[in-house]
């Protein structure tokens, strides 16, 4: 080959290579820079069906992890997710949305969705349970906002799905609670009505003393007290009658007789006459006329005293016996009255006993229903607190996106490298074309120079 042509081809290769690099460098500064916002979400293992009695979350196998990553990746770029994103107020306020929506009142959602798909990337992170969500646009803050809103919309959708699963799991318990509430209301109304009826009839609530029961207790005490009084009155009357029949003096009567003024007067007169007789003995009085007079007075006074005592004994004895008879009769009458009232209360309480017997099963049923409803309420509360939609979600933020500080497109090194490679390739192509289709005829000196170079090479 002609050395001059060789040098020319080499020069063209160098010039085109440099021209490619310079052109790439100029294009890198002329094109609008773009920034990529990156965020990561983490795939979580599914919770146990019974979070109350489970030891923790279920294990997520590698195959299930890959399937979950692919599923969430597809959901994040689905039509519904992108449409919801484009309708989000935060996204509509971004410069990206305004620049691509056009000047009309109705934005072109189809064009916006295509632009989203072109600049949105959802890729699994190798050897992890992470998904990387990236969005590229010319405003750094817009990329961050779009990634955040897209993940928020997806998390809301997942939360709705988890809430639906929770509702389906608690549906039976909620239906049971509703049925228990209905049964409890019916039984409680029946118990309240029966208790109100018993209260109107004088019977208290179970576990308390009613007016009839209190009256029954008072009458029992009165019956015991009155029967004791009646027995004592009858015993006293019989003792008095027995003593009177035997003619024995009654202590009460003798005491009352001795307290009589006439008896006391006669007793004093009698004592005075006896004293006078003792001191009236005269040795000169042979007929004892004075003593005889005093003896007659003593006999008369003694007779009057005995007559008065006898009269009073009869009178007081009859009064005491009559009083005792009246007292015995009165206590017996009171006892009979109390017995009749007790019998009436026994009949009333016996009648109410059947109603109380029918009330007790209803009270027991009410208590059982209330306890069962409490168990169901506690179970629902435990499930809703520990198995809430937030706890049952299978995806969550791993790292929130930050506002990118360096541009991701275009980049100087890749662009200049590509320009140099393209320029070098074009230079080689031009050299090959010149080699194949060149029409230059070599001069004699060129031939001689070529022979010399060949000779030197062979030597």
> Residue 450's pLDDT is what?
57
- Are 232 and 346 found together in one domain? yes
Q: Is residue 65 part of a domain?
A: no
The answer for residues whose C-beta is within 8 angstroms of residue 10's C-beta and 6 or more apart is 431
What digits encode the pLDDT tens for the residues 100-115? Answer: 776 555 677 788 888 8
Q: What b/e readout covers 364-401, taking b as 16+ CB neighbours within 10 angstroms?
A: ebbeebeeebeebeeeeeebeeebebeebbbbeebeeb
Q: Which of 307, 308, 305 is nearest to 273 (CA)?
A: 305
* Domain end residue (candidates: 386, 405, 436): 386
Mean pLDDT of the 246-259 span? 75
Q: Is residue 291 part of a domain?
A: yes
384: pLDDT strictly greater than 50:
yes
Most confident of 282-296, 304-318, 345-359: 304-318
82: pLDDT strictly greater than 80:
yes
Ranking 121-125, 335-339, 420-424, 441-445 by mean pLDDT, the lowest is: 441-445
Q: Which tokens sit at 428?
A: 């080689």
* Domain end residue (candidates: 369, 386, 403): 386
- Are 225 and 356 found together in one domain? yes
76: pLDDT strictly greater than 80:
yes
Contact 255, 313 (CB under 8 A): no
- Record the pTM: 0.46
What digits encode the pLDDT tens for the residues 19-30? Answer: 766 676 666 555
**Between 358 and 51, residue with greater pLDDT:** 358
Give DSSP secondary structure letters for 103-128: SSSS--HHHHHHHHHHHEEEEEPTTS
- Are 352 and 454 found together in one domain? no
- Are 256 and 352 found together in one domain? yes
Q: Contacts by 93-96 with C-beta closer than 8 Å and gap 24+?
A: 94/139, 94/141, 94/142, 94/145, 94/146, 95/138, 95/139, 95/142, 96/137, 96/138, 96/139, 96/142, 96/143, 96/146
- Are 266 and 346 found together in one domain? yes
- Are 291 and 425 found together in one domain? no
Domain of residue 459 covers: 1-31+413-459
* Number of domains the chain is built from: 2
- Are 435 and 336 found together in one domain? no
CA 350 to chain centre: 44
- Are 219 and 301 found together in one domain? yes
- Are 362 and 312 found together in one domain? yes
> Residue 40's pLDDT is what?
94
> Residue 449's pLDDT is what?
63
**Between 156 and 47, residue with greater pLDDT:** 156
What digits encode the pLDDT tens for the residues 136-152? Answer: 888 889 889 999 999 99
Give DSSP secondary structure letters for 324-338: HHHHHHHHHHHHHHH
383: pLDDT strictly greater than 60:
yes
* Domain end residue (candidates: 367, 386, 405): 386
Rounded distance between C-alpha atoms, residue 430 and residue 8, angstroms:
11
Rounded distance between C-alpha atoms, residue 407 and residue 419, angstroms:
19
The answer for residues whose C-beta is within 8 angstroms of residue 111's C-beta and 6 or more apart is 100, 102
- Are 255 and 379 found together in one domain? yes
Q: Is residue 88 part of a domain?
A: no
**Between 350 and 415, residue with greater pLDDT:** 350
């Amino acid at each position: 080959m002609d050395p001059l042509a060789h040098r020319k081809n080499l020069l063209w290769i160098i010039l085109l290579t440099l021209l490619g690099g310079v052109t790439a460098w100029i294009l890198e500064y002329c094109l609008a820079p773009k920034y990529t916002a990156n965020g990561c979400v983490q795939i979580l293992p599914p919770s146990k069906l019974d979070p109350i009695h489970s030891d923790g979350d279920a294990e997520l196998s590698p195959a299930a992890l890959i399937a979950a990553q692919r599923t969430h990746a597809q959901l994040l770029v689905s039509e519904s997710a992108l449409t919801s994103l484009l309708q989000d107020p935060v996204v509509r306020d971004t410069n990206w949305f305004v620049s691509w929506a056009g000047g009309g009142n109705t934005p072109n959602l189809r064009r916006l969705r295509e632009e989203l798909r072109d600049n949105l990337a959802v890729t699994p992170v190798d050897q992890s349970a992470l998904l990387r969500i990236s969005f590229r646009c010319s405003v750094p803050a817009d990329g961050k906002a779009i990634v955040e809103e897209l993940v928020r919309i997806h998390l809301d959708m997942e939360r709705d799905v988890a809430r639906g699963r929770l509702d389906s799991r608690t549906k039976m318990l909620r239906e049971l609670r509703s049925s228990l509430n209905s049964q409890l209301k019916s039984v409680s109304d029946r118990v309240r009505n029966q208790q109100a009826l018993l209260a109107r009839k004088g019977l208290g609530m179970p576990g308390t003393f009613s007016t009839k029961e209190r009256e029954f207790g008072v009458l029992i005490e009165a019956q015991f007290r009155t029967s004791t009084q009646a027995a004592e009155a009858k015993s006293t009357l019989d003792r008095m009658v027995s003593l009177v029949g035997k003619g024995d003096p009654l202590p009460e009567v003798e005491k009352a007789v001795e307290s009589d003024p006439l008896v006391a007067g006669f007793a004093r007169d009698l004592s005075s006459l006896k004293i006078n007789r003792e001191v009236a003995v005269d040795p000169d009085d042979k007929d004892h006329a004075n003593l005889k007079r005093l003896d007659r007075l003593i006999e008369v006074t003694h007779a009057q005293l005995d007559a008065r005592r006898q009269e009073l004994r009869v009178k007081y004895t009859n009064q005491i016996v009559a009083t005792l008879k009246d007292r015995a009769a009165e206590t017996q009458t009171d006892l009979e009255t109390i017995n009749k009232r007790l019998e009436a209360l026994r009949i009333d309480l016996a009648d109410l006993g059947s109603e109380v017997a029918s009330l007790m099963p209803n009270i027991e049923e009410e208590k059982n229903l209330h306890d069962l409803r409490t168990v169901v309420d506690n179970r629902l509360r435990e499930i809703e607190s520990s198995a809430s939609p937030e706890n049952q979600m299978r995806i969550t933020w791993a790292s929130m996106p930050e506002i990118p500080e360096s541009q991701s497109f275009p980049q100087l090194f890749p662009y200049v490298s590509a320009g140099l490679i393209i320029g070098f390739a074009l230079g080689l192509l031009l050299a090959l074309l010149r080699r194949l289709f060149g029409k230059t005829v070599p001069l004699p000196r060129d031939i001689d120079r070529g022979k010399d170079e060949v000779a030197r090479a062979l030597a």
